[in-house]
Structure 1
Amino acid sequence: MEKRVEILAKYLPSAAVNMVDELFDIYHFHFVIVSKRKTKHGDFRRLRNGDYQITINNDLNKYRFLLTLIHEMAHLLTFKEKPKSKPHGIEWKTNFQRLMLPFLQPDIYPHDILIHLAKYLKNPKASTDADIQLSLSLKKYDDEKEGSYIHEIPTNATFFYRNVAYQKGNKRRTRFECVELKSKKKYLFHHNALVKIQES
């Protein structure tokens, strides 16, 4: 059986492995690496037997994997301290900031991520994808980009998202209003949504 540190080394920046391994010894939880989920990068839950479990998607690049893991550890710590606190309330924000601070190092995160991550952590949101600049900087390190970001394609262009055809409309703050071609219904797409352009 592989040692925990050997497994972590496959998914994390090398300079962060031992630091994360120490957190495992402090907080004691079941750790499961799972297949890609479309709706989330990771999650934390308390099991029926009272144990704690954190799951992280196996398709994340090492920088997002680390950020997601610490995000979920902050949920675990917050739950232990104050079980009835809001999921992403002030207690979670404080714990997330405290846990992430030691990882804000240039030997762990590249400069282009580090500058946006430092800003994000001043008031962290429930999802890193809510921060456009941080999300884009993290996505640059993905192994492969399947398609184009919606903000990169022209207005009125036809594109496919989950095999459904849409036409891109105008931007409304951080999202684009798009029309599903078949039903004519309008949908809002996140600035960094990955879509496929219709081949000409």
Structure 2
Amino acid sequence: MAAAGVAGSDDVSTTHLTTADRWGNVVAYTLTIESTGGNGMVVPGRGFLLNNELTDFNFTGTQGDAPDPNLPGPGKRPRSSMAPTIVLMEGKPLLAVGSPGGSTIITTVLQVLMNRLDLGMGLPEAIAAPRATQRNTAAVQAEPGFPRTGLQALGHTFSDNPEIGAATGIEFLGDGSLLAAAEPTRRGGGSAGVVDPRS
């Protein structure tokens, strides 16, 4: 695994960022252009590349003789696993989280939210905790350290995955301050910071 900031350590996949300001405006933003350079087209006068989401379509039928709804065609949008999430409490932002990771994005975000909201972990611990992902396969993919014993006793099988997702998040704390957190090691480690925690 490449260290953060090392030349050549950037991946060609999805990016996620989370940001907020002192007025409670918050953004959870997930972006992908798929392959390097997206579809190779830049929007004239705007300077950004268009994505190439064709890899999210199926190119052969997967439904036997039935029509496959995920084949490319006019007017269709490809499936997407993006799940930028903002959690409100009494109408005000509490948490914002998201992750890159293709089809593991939804399970990554879900586990961060469960770790923080249901299991009472702090946001940095919720992001750092070992994860698993199940995507309609025989075995559950799991990171090293993910607690498997109880699930194996119920008949679940596992395959190893060295890292799942790369989450970032912001929490609005009860005293009015903000807490920013990012992956400590996955994908070389993320970056998180607060300019002024009380502003």
**Normalising TM by the smaller chain, what interval?**
under 0.3
Q: Which has the higher contact order (CA 8 A, sep 6+)?
A: 2
Q: Which has the higher helix share?
A: 1
TM-score relative to the length of structure 2: 0.26
TM-score relative to the length of structure 1: 0.26
